């Protein structure tokens, strides 16, 4: 069995918006959500910029008592998941809960809780460790809490593939629905680990921008880029088979037309310089959907603003699309949000779907002069209108993960 996999609900909480509509409006308006860091010690770490979710209020979906029992990344996930669930209308449709699953991608989960509880133990002794420490820290609890809230008895899974975790969670959900194993999956990514330890860990790898002006810290594809900006957020989608959506009268927002992951098998953190296997992932995802490269009009790039990633990804796109690459619109929304790590792939899939539906590609803000090896149309500075039915969302992760999601606009 091979089902079409439709998107019937989306939710998001990000540094540029408290929901999908606000986040996408900010994206096309070129609003930068990166600011001075307040969650971690900028003087101690030497890193001053961060993409924080400001004025986050989960009270619509989470009570104060519940919030105290959840890590911040879980709170973000719960809000985004409930937004997607509500938009889908699934809760009022008499669905079979045994055939609806929950899947979550997160790269680092409750690392902040681990650090907090370690300090508590060292300062106050063994008995000071909270009984909620483990449930709050482990990644899979978040998916479990969403399933508990909604009474969903299908597979409840967590995916950890570094910065491609959110995309790979969507990929696993896509296969489950496509193959007929499930009617629907509530799937997404969540991350919030802007703490001294995590920041310094990335800093020691020379992965983070040391720029003191937050608006110039995340500038993908620019010759002056010097690393990515840590950020937080969450995004969820309700994926559903076309037949199930039709049966309950749901109107699809779009389609997941394909998903492929490859592995560089090259280096634990660096991508292959020529982008060979990132290019292969893009080629394979188009082959899976049975489309030609000229059917794709937009790519939401992984675009981290690191010296290695941006050149490798640009080269991969040229390698995959050949001469047609110059006709593609390619942009990085990380120029506005920073890098949400394990949540990035899910959030960027949501933004890509919005871009397709409204026919406008969000810009790469802050980009002034393209770096050597970056030869594409990066939607520099301002959004551009586009007319295409297909777009690709790229997500790459430490470990050599290359994950590509192909999204399709639904015919009116």
Sign of CA dihedral 209, 213, 198, 45: positive
- As a three-state string, the secondary structure of 273-288 is CCCHHHHHHHHHHHHH
For residue 57, which phi and psi values (nearest 5 degrees)? -130, 100
Helix (H, G, I), strand (E, B) or coil at 9: strand
Contact 13, 76 (CB under 8 A): yes
In terms of Cβ atoms closer than 10 Å to its own Cβ (0-12, 13-18, 19+), residue 340 is buried
Q: Which of 232, 209, 253 is nearest to 349 (CA)?
A: 253
Q: Which residues are catalytic?
A: 163, 302, 339
Contact 253, 186 (CB under 8 A): no
Q: Which of 276, 282, 289, 398 is nearest to 344 (CA)?
A: 398
- In angstroms, what CA-CA distances link 355 with 29, 59, 226, 261, 300? 12, 29, 28, 23, 10
For residues 19-49, one letter each, b for 16 or more C-beta atoms within 10 angstroms of the residue's C-beta and e for the rest, the string is bbeebbebbbebbbbbbebebbebeebebbb
């Amino acid at each position: 069995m091979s089902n079409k996999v439709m998107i019937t609900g989306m939710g998001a909480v990000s540094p540029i918006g408290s929901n999908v509509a606000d986040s996408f409006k900010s994206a096309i308006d070129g609003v930068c959500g990166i600011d001075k860091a307040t969650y971690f010690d900028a003087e101690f770490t030497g890193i001053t910029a961060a993409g924080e979710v400001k004025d986050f209020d989960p009270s619509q979906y989470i009570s104060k008592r519940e919030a105290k029992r959840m890590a911040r990344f879980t709170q973000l996930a719960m809000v985004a998941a409930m937004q997607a669930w509500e938009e889908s209308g699934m809760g009022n449709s008499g669905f079979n809960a045994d055939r609806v699953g929950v899947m979550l991608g997160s790269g680092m989960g409750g690392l902040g809780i681990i650090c907090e509880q370690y300090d508590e133990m060292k300062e106050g002794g063994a008995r000071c460790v909270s009984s909620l420490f483990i449930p709050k820290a482990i990644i899979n609890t978040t998916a479990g809490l969403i399933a508990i809230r909604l009474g969903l008895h299908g597979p409840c899974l967590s995916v950890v593939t570094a910065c491609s975790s959110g995309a790979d969670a969507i990929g696993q959900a896509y296969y489950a629905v496509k193959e007929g194993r499930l009617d629907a999956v509530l799937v997404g990514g969540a991350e919030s680990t802007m703490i001294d330890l995590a920041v310094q860990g990335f800093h020691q790898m020379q992965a983070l921008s040391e720029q003191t002006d937050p608006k110039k810290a995340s500038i993908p594809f620019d010759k002056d880029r010097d690393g990515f900006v840590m950020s937080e957020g969450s995004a969820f989608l309700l994926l559903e088979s076309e037949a199930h959506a039709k049966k309950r009268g749901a109107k699809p927002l779009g389609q997941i037309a394909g998903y492929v992951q490859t592995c560089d098998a090259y280096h634990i953190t660096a991508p292959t310089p020529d982008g060979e296997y990132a290019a292969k992932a893009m080629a394979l995802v188009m082959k899976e959907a049975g489309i030609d490269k000229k059917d794709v009009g937009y790519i939401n790039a992984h675009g981290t603003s690191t010296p290695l990633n941006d050149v490798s990804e640009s080269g991969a796109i040229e390698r995959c699309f050949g001469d047609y690459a110059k006709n593609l619109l390619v942009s990085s929304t990380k120029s506005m949000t920073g890098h949400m790590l394990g949540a990035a792939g899910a959030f960027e899939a949501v933004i890509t779907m919005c871009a397709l539906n409204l026919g406008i590609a969000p810009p790469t803000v802050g980009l002034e002069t393209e770096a050597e090896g970056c030869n594409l149309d990066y939607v520099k500075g301002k959004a551009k209108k586009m007319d295409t039915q297909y777009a690709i969302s790229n997500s790459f992760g430490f470990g050599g993960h290359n994950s590509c999601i192909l999204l399709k606009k639904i015919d009116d």
